[in-house]
């Protein structure tokens, strides 16, 4: 099916990239990032952390203040956008309102002066790929948000880019559609073997579609790794908090076990023995006969699970428990907590 | 029991009497009884009680009293159910209409100029009628809305539609007969159109015929090509239309090139000015939006305000200093002989209008460019398009509506311009000036009216043409969330080119203004360059009272213009009622009608009979109010469009009437648009010429007209002093207001004042 749209994916390397707008803290601060051919990397982080700016520097829409950007084996640091083999799906889609769907998708090929027949073929194929084959002659403002989004996708795909960039491509869609489209994007990316950089501030979206997630904060990379890695072994409190939710309580590690209040939890991790900060995922908490003494503070029903907040000697701990109706889980009840081996992780203690 | 029921009906009665219908009817009758019905002469004061209705004896106008009694009686009866309330209101409305008819018929039969009594009575009855309309559920909305609708419809009819109809009437109604003779006479006059010049070797008529033939052929060919997919009978009609259009177009080009007279001159200037001003404005807007230099942006901003505070012909006047027969550049530097000076005529008028209109185009194009989504351009570059390509494929097509709007405005302004041709026209004559010359020089009302009708038709034609241009395709921007991102910088070469253009333009503007100031402080420009304050002294002695009077008139006209504009905008955007599109059309008409035509219309409409108002300050104020009201409407409309209706609905659910809602909720939110409208109305009143040149009278002269007469008389020194004072005054006003709005902004972070 996809004869012609088969990109030759390229590796992307950012070394020491800095972007400064005027005075003050840089928007992007010494970012080093390597992306392998055919890999989908997500830039994840809170609003204003520099994700879009990083992406725009890869696209050539923003000139880095320092550092270098290499695509394939060409240094493109100061190459203007129109000379790079990179296309982008914009958050606002940026469809040309005075062109119909076909003209929008074919625009880049026309600019590149491809023969008419080739343009027609490739546009038709790209539209088929995103499932809009019947909409070629529609005006773009006569499309729904999801359809517009796919036109934008087709317009970027049809160029057979060596790198394709997405800037929060789903943020204008409603929640249900978002889940569906992100699956489609991922499938297409894998089928066509595209190198893709994907910006989002939705951690669930990032975990669901990425080969690798790069967590950014205040212009810097906090941590990067596979979704599993980031979830199981966050390097900082910021990452632990940003990816999923986490309890963070003070404890003491002796090389074999964690001492948490009156409880002792066997745990093996390469970290200096002594005071530590214990990261506990809510789903790792269990009610046990023996363990950390806790008192139920509040119970909330969330559907598949119940969320229970406990007060303990080391601080508040929130747990997601299966709703198997332990009648005694009422406010004020005294219980003991145990912690599953997965979902407990140690970090250096927060300096107080 | 009885006591209770009595109290009950009493309460009912009271409820009936508190209706605004009763209150305003009583106000009407009070005015009618307390004040004289008519005036003896033009003057509104002193009151002449010899013309009191009682002294005048029994007549139809006594029906006002009858109406008031009837309304009181009708409302004296209790009404408890909806249908009863409605019937009561309808009956009152009938009584009010009878009163209005009686008063009107007797006044017009007597042809006596109206007095304060009649004015108050009409006003009161109109408001009462509006209230009755709303109580009778004939309009949706409360008494305030009803009264507002009735008043606005009355005003627009009386001060826009009726005067314009009088122009039409005077053009076809000559010496008591309906005739097109005046049209025939005017159209065959060489002043209007003059083609065959016996003193040249060229056969002009033949050239024009050739152009017309070429136009016909081109129109037909294009029509055939354009309708190639249309079915036959319809295609025939369309092709015929193209044929006629091509013929007219070709002929117009022909007369512009080979003919003389008011029509070809006006057309030629408009055809030169509109595209040039638009292009210049677009170029400057592009530079203003995309340059990194703050200085350039600041200069463009300031320079774009200047024309608004400059009387329209002052640029022409200072061009005489610079480029005239003894001008600094043409005579002193380039050494062009005074007899070979090309300024007077098409060149000068066009150049002056381009300079005056480029800033208007700049503002329109700036708005158009700012509404672009920068991500569109970025998307095009990521798809491989070069800067030029992006401009051609994305930017240009998307600003075309702005271009059309700017072309429309510039051609209307050019066609309507009166002062510039008067100052720089030379041996060319123009339609707008012919209206004036026909009336004040040749004393022919009907000839002036014919020119007026032609001007109106031209403006209408331009309107239709721009509609057609815009109608080709309007783009709603397709975006979810507005994207961040910056506009692409201009291609290097283009930026330098534009910078050079802007620099030249700025330098020219600056020297134009500088030269006026210089002319005001030297003895005699070009001949005796000793510095002197003589002109300012003379200005203070002779012209200052006129300027002061002008300021008073402008204030007196700006406030009602703003209030009326705000009211109409509110009614039109927030209510549906009979006559709504008439209101919109009327205000559009008053905006588009050339000033001289409006002035002529006011002379024709208010020169005798009941509505006699010429040679009073009132008529100048009225002319200015209705001239400047449309801008206030525009400003308020765009402001209203940004205010969510739920605010008003919230206010309404709290049982606030729409009057209260408007004053307490909308007005504070609209303060900036309203203020902008007010300033614009004031400034344009200060700089208006064409619409009031007919309306000034001895002792009631306004600054611009005085200035124009000084320029024409060759009193350049005093004229320059006057112009300098006016410009500095208005500039100071704007600067003060800008600072004040900054200060207010800082205090309650509203929207910036945009002029
Ligand atoms: N053109 C610009 N001029 C000045 N500052 C800018 C510009 N673009 C971005 N910034 C600043 O750089 C920082 C990073 O912006 P960026 O758009 O990359 O954030 P982001 O991570 O994409 O945030 P979001 O999730 O809200 O889109 C912000 O503080 C922003 O204010
Ligand atoms: Mg962003």
Print the SS3 string covering chain A: CCCCCCCCCCCEEEEEEEECCCCCCCCEEEEEEEECCCCEEEEECCCCCCHHHHHHHHHCCCCCCEEEEEECCEECCCCCHHHCCEEEECCCCCCCCCCEHHHHHHHHHHHCCCCHHHHHHHHHHHHHHCCCHHHCCCEHHHCCHHHHHHHHHHHHHCCCCCEEEEECCCCCCCHHHHHHHHHHHHHHHHHHCCCEEEEECCHHHHHHHCCEEEEEECCEEEEEECHHHHHHCCCCHHHHHHCCCCEEEEEEECCCEEEECCEEEECCCCCCCEEEEEEECHHHEEEECCCEEEEEEEEEECCCEEEEEEEECCEEEEEEEECCCCCCCCCCCEEEEEECCCCEEEECCCCC
| For residues A305-321, average pLDDT | 90
- Final residue belonging to a domain, choices B233, B259, B285: B259
Which domain covers residue B104, as residue numbers? 9-138
Give the number of other Cβ atoms within 10 Å of residue B177's Cβ: 8
Residue B691 inside a domain? The answer is yes
Q: Report which of residues B43 and B599 the model is more confident about.
A: B599
What confidence score (pLDDT) does residue B16 get?
67
DSSP B516: H
- The whole-angstrom separation of Cα B685 and Cα B677 is 12
- Final residue belonging to a domain, choices B206, B238, B259: B259
Check pLDDT > 50 for residue B4. Answer: no
What confidence score (pLDDT) does residue B747 get?
58
Check pLDDT > 50 for residue B252. Answer: yes
Q: Are B538 and B624 within one domain?
A: yes
Contacts of B381 in chain A (CB under 8 A): 60-61, 80-82
Q: Are B269 and B361 within one domain?
A: yes
Helix axes B262-290, B346-370, angle to 10 degrees: 40
Count how many Cα atoms sit within 13 Å of the Cα of residue B645 in the half-sphere of its side chain. 4
The ligand with the least distance to the CA atom of A167 is 2
| Residue count (chain A) | 352
Q: Are B485 and B563 within one domain?
A: no
List pLDDT tens digits, range A203-213. Answer: 889 999 999 99
Give the number of other Cβ atoms within 10 Å of residue A186's Cβ: 17
What confidence score (pLDDT) does residue B94 get?
92
- The whole-angstrom separation of Cα B266 and Cα B346 is 9
Give the number of other Cβ atoms within 10 Å of residue B676's Cβ: 26
What confidence score (pLDDT) does residue B349 get?
94
What confidence score (pLDDT) does residue B80 get?
76
Residue B160 inside a domain? The answer is no
Contacts of B376 in chain A (CB under 8 A): 94, 96
Q: Are B372 and B514 within one domain?
A: yes
Q: Are B253 and B265 within one domain?
A: no
Q: In this structure, what token pair is assigned to residue A165? A: 């960039």
- Chain B, 396 to 425: residues with Cβ < 8 Å from chain A are 397-398
- Tell me the backbone φ, ψ of residue B13, rounded to 5 degrees: -55, -50
Question: How much is the CA Rg of chain B, to the nearest whole Å?
Answer: 29
Determine the distance in angstroms separating the CA of B482 from the nearest CA of chain A, rounded to an integer: 6
Check pLDDT > 60 for residue B484. Answer: no
Query: Cβ(B204)–Cβ(B246) under 8 Å?
Result: no
**pLDDT bracket for residue A243 (50, 70, 90):** confident
- In the A/B pair of chains, how many CB contacts fall below 8 A? 99
List pLDDT tens digits, range B368-383. Answer: 888 888 889 999 999 9
- The whole-angstrom separation of Cα B90 and Cα B82 is 12
- Final residue belonging to a domain, choices B519, B552, B569: B519
Residue B462 inside a domain? The answer is yes
Searching chain B, which residue's CA lies closest to the CA of residue A56?
B485
pLDDT > 70 in chain B, percent: 94
Ligand 2 ion: nearby residues, β-carbon < 5 Å: A 52
Is residue B383 within 8 angstroms of chain A, CB to CB?
yes
Q: Are B45 and B67 within one domain?
A: yes
What confidence score (pLDDT) does residue B745 get?
62
Is residue A48 within 8 angstroms of chain B, CB to CB?
no
Q: How many domains is chain B built from?
A: 4
CA of A21 to the centre of ligand 1 (A): 9
| For residues B737-745, average pLDDT | 74
**Which of B14, B2, B19 is closest to B657 using CA atoms?**
B19
Check pLDDT > 50 for residue B752. Answer: no
Highest mean pLDDT among B346-350, B462-466, B477-481, B742-746: B346-350
Q: Are B591 and B704 within one domain?
A: yes
Contacts of A59 in chain B (CB under 8 A): 378, 382
**Which of B679, B681, B661 is closest to B669 using CA atoms?**
B661
Is residue A90 within 8 angstroms of chain B, CB to CB?
yes
- The whole-angstrom separation of Cα B743 and Cα B311 is 29
Q: Are B239 and B343 within one domain?
A: no
Domain of B584, CATH number, reads 1.10.3720.10
What confidence score (pLDDT) does residue B609 get?
82
Residue B147 inside a domain? The answer is no
List pLDDT tens digits, range B610-644. Answer: 888 888 889 999 999 999 898 888 888 877 877 77
Q: Are B477 and B598 within one domain?
A: no
- The whole-angstrom separation of Cα B275 and Cα B747 is 43
What confidence score (pLDDT) does residue B36 get?
87
What confidence score (pLDDT) does residue B481 get?
36
- The whole-angstrom separation of Cα A134 and Cα A116 is 20
Cα–Cα separations (whole angstroms), residue A215 to A35, A224, B8: 14, 6, 77
| For residues B689-715, average pLDDT | 87
List pLDDT tens digits, range B99-156. Answer: 999 988 888 888 888 888 889 999 999 999 999 998 888 888 888 899 999 999 999 9
| For residues B179-184, average pLDDT | 88
Residue B85 inside a domain? The answer is yes
Is residue A171 within 8 angstroms of chain B, CB to CB?
yes
Query: Cβ(B132)–Cβ(B92) under 8 Å?
Result: yes
Task: Give the residue whose CA is nearest to atom 4 of ligand 1.
Answer: A21
- Out of B382, B479, B485, the one facing A87 most closely (by C-beta) is B382
| For residues B284-303, average pLDDT | 85
Searching chain A, which residue's CA lies closest to the CA of residue B400?
A98
Residue written as token pair 């042809």 = B111
Residue B285 inside a domain? The answer is yes
- Classify burial at B199, counting beta carbons within 10 Å of its beta carbon; exposed 0-12, middle 13-18, buried 19 or more: exposed
What confidence score (pLDDT) does residue A2 get?
43
- Out of B379, B481, B485, the one facing A172 most closely (by C-beta) is B481
Q: Are B16 and B83 within one domain?
A: yes
Q: Are B395 and B542 within one domain?
A: no
Q: Are B315 and B395 within one domain?
A: yes
What residue ranges define each of the domains in chain A, with the CATH number in brackets?
Answer: 12-237 (3.40.50.300), 247-347 (2.40.50.100)
What confidence score (pLDDT) does residue B734 get?
83
Q: In this structure, what token pair is assigned to residue A142? A: 């006569």
Residue B503 inside a domain? The answer is yes
Is residue B373 within 8 angstroms of chain A, CB to CB?
yes
The per-residue pLDDT of chain A, averaged, comes to: 88
Contacts of A140 in chain B (CB under 8 A): 478
Residue B669 inside a domain? The answer is yes
**pLDDT bracket for residue B478 (50, 70, 90):** very low
Give the number of other Cβ atoms within 10 Å of residue A80's Cβ: 14
Q: In this structure, what token pair is assigned to residue B665? A: 């909720």
Q: In this structure, what token pair is assigned to residue B470? A: 């815009």
Burial per residue of B3-26, b for 16 or more beta-carbon CB atoms within 10 angstroms, e otherwise: eeeeeeeeeeeeebeebbbbbbbb
């Amino acid at each position: 099916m996809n004869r012609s749209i088969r990109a030759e994916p390229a590796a992307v390397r950012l070394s020491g990239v800095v972007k400064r707008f005027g005075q003050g803290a840089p928007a992007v601060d010494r970012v080093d990032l390597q992306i392998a051919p055919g890999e989908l990397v997500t830039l994840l982080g809170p609003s204003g952390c520099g994700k879009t700016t990083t992406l725009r520097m890869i696209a050539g829409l923003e000139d880095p203040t320092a550092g270098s950007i290499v695509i394939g084996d060409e240094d493109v640091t100061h190459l203007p956008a129109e000379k790079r083999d990179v296309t982008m799906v914009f958050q606002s889609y940026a469809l040309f309102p005075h062109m119909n769907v076909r003209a929008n998708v074919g625009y880049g090929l026309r600019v590149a002066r491809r023969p008419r027949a080739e343009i027609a073929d490739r546009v038709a194929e790209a539209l088929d790929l995103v499932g809009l084959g019947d909409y070629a002659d529609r005006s773009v403002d006569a499309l729904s948000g999801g359809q517009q989004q796919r036109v934008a996708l087709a317009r970027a795909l049809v160029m057979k880019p060596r790198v394709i960039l997405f800037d929060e491509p789903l943020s204008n869609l409603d929640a249900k559609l978002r889940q569906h489209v992100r699956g489609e994007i991922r499938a297409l990316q894998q089928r066509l073997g595209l190198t893709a950089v994907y910006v989002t501030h939705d951690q669930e979206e990032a975990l669901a579609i990425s080969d690798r997630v790069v967590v950014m904060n205040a212009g810097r990379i906090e941590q990067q790794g596979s979704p599993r890695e980031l979830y199981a072994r966050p390097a900082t409190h910021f990452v632990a908090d940003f990816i999923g939710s986490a309890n963070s309580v003070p404890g003491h590690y002796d090389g074999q076990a964690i001492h948490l209040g009156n409880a002792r939890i066997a745990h093996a991790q390469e970290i200096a023995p002594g005071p530590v900060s214990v990261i506990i995922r809510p789903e790792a908490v269990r009610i046990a006969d023996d363990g950390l003494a806790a008192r139920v503070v509040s119970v909330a029903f969330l559907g598949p699970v119940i969320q229970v907040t406990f007060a303990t000697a080391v601080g508040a701990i929130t747990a997601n428990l299966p709703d198997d109706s332990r009648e005694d889980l009422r406010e004020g009840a005294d219980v003991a907590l145990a912690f599953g081996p997965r979902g407990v992780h140690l970090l250096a203690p927060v300096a107080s | 029991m009885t006591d209770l029921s009595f109290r009950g009906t009493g309460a009912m009665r009271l409820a009936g009497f508190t209706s605004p219908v009763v209150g305003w009817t009583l106000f009407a009758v009070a005015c009618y009884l307390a004040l004289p019905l008519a005036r003896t002469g033009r003057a509104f004061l002193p009151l002449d009680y010899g013309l009191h209705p009682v002294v005048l004896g029994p007549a139809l106008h006594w029906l006002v009293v009858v109406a008031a009694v009837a309304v009181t009686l009708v409302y004296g009866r209790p009404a408890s159910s909806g249908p009863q309330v409605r019937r009561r209101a309808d009956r009152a409305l009938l009584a009010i209409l009878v009163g209005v008819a009686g008063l009107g018929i007797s006044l017009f039969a007597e042809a006596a100029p109206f007095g304060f009594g009649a004015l108050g009575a009409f006003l009161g009855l109109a408001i009462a009628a509006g209230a009755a309309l709303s109580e009778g559920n004939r309009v949706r909305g409360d008494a305030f809305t009803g009264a507002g609708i009735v008043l606005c419809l009355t005003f627009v009819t009386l001060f826009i539609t009726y005067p314009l109809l009088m122009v039409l009437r005077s053009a076809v109604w000559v010496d008591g007969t309906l005739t097109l003779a005046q049209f025939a006479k005017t159209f065959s006059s060489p002043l209007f159109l003059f083609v065959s010049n016996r003193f040249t070797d060229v056969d002009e008529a033949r050239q024009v015929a050739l152009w017309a033939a070429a136009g016909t052929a081109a129109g037909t060919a294009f029509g055939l090509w354009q309708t190639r997919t249309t079915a036959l009978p319809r295609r025939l009609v369309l092709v015929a239309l193209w044929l006629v259009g091509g013929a007219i177009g070709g002929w117009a080009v022909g007369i512009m090139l080979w003919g003389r007279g008011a029509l070809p001159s006006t057309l030629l200037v408009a055809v030169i000015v509109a595209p040039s001003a638009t292009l210049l404005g677009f170029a400057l807007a592009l530079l203003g939006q995309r340059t990194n230099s703050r200085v350039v942006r600041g200069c463009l901003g300031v320079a774009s305000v200047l024309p608004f505070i400059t009387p329209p012909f002052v640029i022409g006047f200072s061009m005489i200093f610079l480029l005239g027969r003894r001008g600094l550049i043409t005579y002193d530097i380039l050494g062009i002989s005074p007899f070979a000076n090309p300024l007077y005529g098409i060149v000068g008028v066009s150049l002056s209008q381009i300079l005056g209109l480029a800033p208007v185009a700049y503002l329109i194009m700036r708005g158009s460019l700012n509404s672009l989504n920068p991500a569109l351009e970025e998307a095009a570059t990521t798809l491989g398009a070069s800067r030029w390509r992006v401009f051609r494929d994305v930017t240009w097509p998307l600003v075309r509506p702005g271009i059309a709007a700017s072309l429309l405005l510039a051609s209307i302004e050019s066609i309507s311009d009166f002062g510039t041709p008067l100052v720089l026209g030379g041996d060319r004559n123009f339609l707008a000036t012919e209206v004036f010359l026909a009336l004040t020089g040749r004393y022919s009302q009907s000839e002036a009216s014919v020119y007026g009708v032609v001007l109106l038709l031209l403006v209408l034609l331009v309107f239709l043409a721009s509609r057609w241009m815009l109608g080709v395709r309007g783009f709603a921007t397709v975006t979810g969330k507005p994207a961040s991102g910056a506009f692409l910088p201009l291609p290097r070469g283009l930026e330098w080119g534009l910078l050079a253009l802007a620099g030249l333009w700025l330098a020219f503007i600056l020297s134009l203004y500088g030269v006026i100031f210089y002319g005001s402080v030297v003895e005699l420009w070009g001949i005796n360059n000793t510095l002197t304050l003589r002109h300012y002294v003379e200005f203070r002695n002779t012209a200052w009272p006129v300027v002061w009077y002008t300021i008073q008139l402008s204030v007196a006209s700006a406030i009602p213009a703003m209030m009326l504009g705000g009211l109409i905008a509110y009614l039109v955007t927030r209510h549906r009622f009979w006559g709504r599109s008439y209101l919109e059309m009327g205000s559009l008409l008053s905006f588009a009608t050339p000033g001289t035509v409006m002035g002529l219309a006011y002379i024709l409409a208010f020169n005798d009979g009941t509505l006699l108002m010429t040679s009073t300050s009132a008529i100048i104020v009225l002319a200015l109010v209705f001239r400047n009201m449309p801008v206030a409407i525009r400003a308020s409309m765009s402001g209203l469009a940004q205010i969510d209706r739920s605010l008003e609905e919230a206010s309404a659910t709290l049982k606030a009437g729409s009057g209260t809602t408007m004053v307490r909720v909308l007005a504070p939110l609209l303060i900036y648009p309203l203020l902008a409208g007010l300033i614009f109305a004031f400034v344009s009143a200060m700089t208006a010429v064409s619409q009031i040149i007919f309306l000034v009278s001895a002792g009631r002269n306004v600054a611009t007209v005085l200035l124009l007469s000084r320029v024409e008389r060759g009193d350049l020194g005093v004229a320059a002093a006057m112009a300098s004072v006016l410009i500095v005054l208005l500039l100071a006003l704007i600067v003060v207001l800008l600072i004040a709005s900054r200060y207010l902004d800082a205090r309650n972070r509203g929207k910036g004042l945009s002029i």
